[in-house]
Amino acid sequence: MTFKEWSTTPPKGWNSWDCYGASVTEEEVRANALYMSEKLKKYGWEYIVVDIQWYEPSADSSQYHPFVPLEMDEFSRLMPSVRRFPSAKGKKGFKPLADDIHRLGLKFGIHIMRGIPRQAVHNNTGLLGTQITARTIASTNSICPWNTDMYGVDASKEGAQLYYNSLMDLYADWGVDFIKVDDIAASTLYGMHKEEIELIRKAIDQTKRPMLLSLSPGPAALKNGAFLLENANMWRLTDDFWDSWNSLSGMFERCERWAPFTRKGNWPDCDMLPLGHIGIRSVDGDGADRQTRFSKAEQRTMVSLWSIFRSPLIFGGELRDNDVWTNSLLTNIEVNKMHDNIFESKQIYRKNGIVVWQAESRETRYFAIFNIDEKTNFVPKEVFQKELKGNEFIDLWEPQKKLTEKTKIVKHDVKLIKMAKEKAE
């Protein structure tokens, strides 16, 4: 059984970054997990992921504190800050939290930075099961462009694989199900760190525990697509995605290019859904505590594109603050079914502000007709006549409304159409 068999449908879950930056607490994680288990689990949502810097005691927002001391064990492995994750006390790490999340019927994920802590390298601390020390395996000049925690690991050095094995063994012991590795898929300084990805792939596989591997940030380069198929379950198409229309409209071209790479176990990733209540402790860039800036039409467009493209769906908002509208985007049974069951999807039309995607499951054909223009538009005549006319179909978002050649799509909105296959052919 290879890692691709661990995720036969695109993953769905929650991640702490969009709300809490580097500073999420155990209480917040538990509360979101509880909400998910009660409200969303039955729709397939299952991963609860703790994002960056759970090992940084003083983290308090989305902005990192450069060069500060990090929680670390004697083998140069970062450990959860007990101040923020009380159940980790006594060196128990994330095991207690993971156990509880499993009890809710959910899965548990963590974020890590590629590499070995700089403090380990400058203090030359030890590694598990070897006399080799941190300074030896550190890549002399491989850093993250935006965070000071780590140095990269030099794959050519003896001890490099051992170190990553010791990390993944620890995470497997904790009961981790999902590992998001950051600063690895698209560094602005170095591009993709392929050798460290290979170290991590082997380290995970030797644990024998199914732990999904998700690579960040993006944009991953298309030329590495074949490599990624053999090494990761998810990888990002863009840099961090937030609630701006420019980012959303730019995703269409990225999805078009990456669609040929999507298959069971490999899910090119459009990034988290910045929906509902987000930015609670975001302070940098455009950050602010807010409801998503996307209009309802844009939210529908985002969920439709992510779904028909088969991106992972990782919710970014504080789940406890979800309203009925927001949940309606996550719990549409027909949309979820499409997301899980289609085996091919692609863009088939793009002109004058209209983008059309088509997908197929065994019995059903889907069309998503997006209006990314700045004004209301009709469904293009050539699309309607070629693909829809004469068939019976419904809009999954508004199944009660009949869609005709005269139907308008307002700016930034979408019609997500389902059609029985017999009729279509």
Contact segment (CB under 8 A) with a copy of itself among 16-24, 141-149, 377-385, 395-403 equals 141-149
Handedness of CA 113, 310, 211, 155 (dihedral sign): negative
Question: CB 340 → a copy of itself: shortest distance, Å?
Answer: 22
The shares of helix, strand and coil residues in the chain, as percent rounded to the nearest 5, are: 35, 25, 40
Helix (H) or strand (E) holding 132: none
CA distances from 373 to 244, 351, 411 (A): 15, 10, 6
The Cα–Cα gap between 124 and 110 comes to 26
Polymer length of the chain: 425
The single residue among 135, 157, 209, 337 that binds a copy of itself, judged by CB under 8 A, is 135
- Taking the least distance from each CB to a copy of itself, the nearer of 146 and 325 is 146
Contact positions with a copy of itself (CB under 8 A) in 179-198: 189
Which residues fall within 8 angstroms of residue 417, CB to CB, at 6 or more apart? 366, 367, 368, 369, 388, 393, 394, 395, 396, 403
Q: Is 158 in the site for a copy of itself (CB under 8 A)?
A: no
- Taking the least distance from each CB to a copy of itself, the nearer of 39 and 135 is 135
Contact segment (CB under 8 A) with a copy of itself among 44-52, 235-243, 257-265, 316-324 equals 257-265
- Taking the least distance from each CB to a copy of itself, the nearer of 143 and 212 is 143
Q: Is 104 in the site for a copy of itself (CB under 8 A)?
A: no
Question: CB 98 → a copy of itself: shortest distance, Å?
Answer: 32
- The contact mask relative to a copy of itself for 260-289 (x = CB under 8 A, - = no) is xx----------------------------
- Taking the least distance from each CB to a copy of itself, the nearer of 98 and 234 is 234
Q: Is 347 in the site for a copy of itself (CB under 8 A)?
A: yes
The Cα–Cα gap between 341 and 365 comes to 11
Tell me the H-state helices in 208-295.
Answer: 225-229, 245-258
Question: CB 389 → a copy of itself: shortest distance, Å?
Answer: 19
Q: Is 105 in the site for a copy of itself (CB under 8 A)?
A: no
> Residue written as tokens 């030896």?
136
Q: Is 146 in the site for a copy of itself (CB under 8 A)?
A: yes
Q: Is 360 in the site for a copy of itself (CB under 8 A)?
A: no
Contact positions with a copy of itself (CB under 8 A) in 63-92: 64, 66-67
Contact positions with a copy of itself (CB under 8 A) in 225-244: 225-227, 229-230
Q: Is 138 in the site for a copy of itself (CB under 8 A)?
A: yes
Question: CB 360 → a copy of itself: shortest distance, Å?
Answer: 13
Contact segment (CB under 8 A) with a copy of itself among 10-18, 59-67, 164-172, 312-320 equals 59-67
Q: Is 144 in the site for a copy of itself (CB under 8 A)?
A: yes
Contact segment (CB under 8 A) with a copy of itself among 28-36, 73-81, 209-217, 340-348 equals 340-348
Tell me the DSSP string of 350-416: EETTEEEEEEE-SSEEEEEEEE-SSS-EEPPHHHIIIIITTS-EEESSSTTSPP-TT-EE-TT-EEE
3-state secondary structure 41-95: HHHCCCEEEECCCCCCCCCCCCCCCCCCCCCECCCCCECCCCCCCHHHCCCCCCH
Tokens standing for 372?
A: 């990314």
The single residue among 130, 148, 206, 244 that binds a copy of itself, judged by CB under 8 A, is 148
Tokens standing for 136?
A: 């030896």
**Burial letters for 361-385: b for 16+ Cβ neighbours within 10 Å, e otherwise?**
beebbbbbbbbbbeeebbbbeebbe
Q: Is 411 in the site for a copy of itself (CB under 8 A)?
A: no
Q: How many CA within 13 A on the CB side of residue 22?
A: 23
> Residue written as tokens 């939210």?
299
Which residues fall within 8 angstroms of residue 42, CB to CB, at 6 or more apart? none
Question: CB 44 → a copy of itself: shortest distance, Å?
Answer: 27
Tokens standing for 352?
A: 């004058």
Residues that bind a copy of itself (CB under 8 A): 64, 66-67, 118-119, 121-122, 124, 135, 138, 140-141, 143-148, 189, 222-223, 225-227, 229-230, 256-261, 346-348
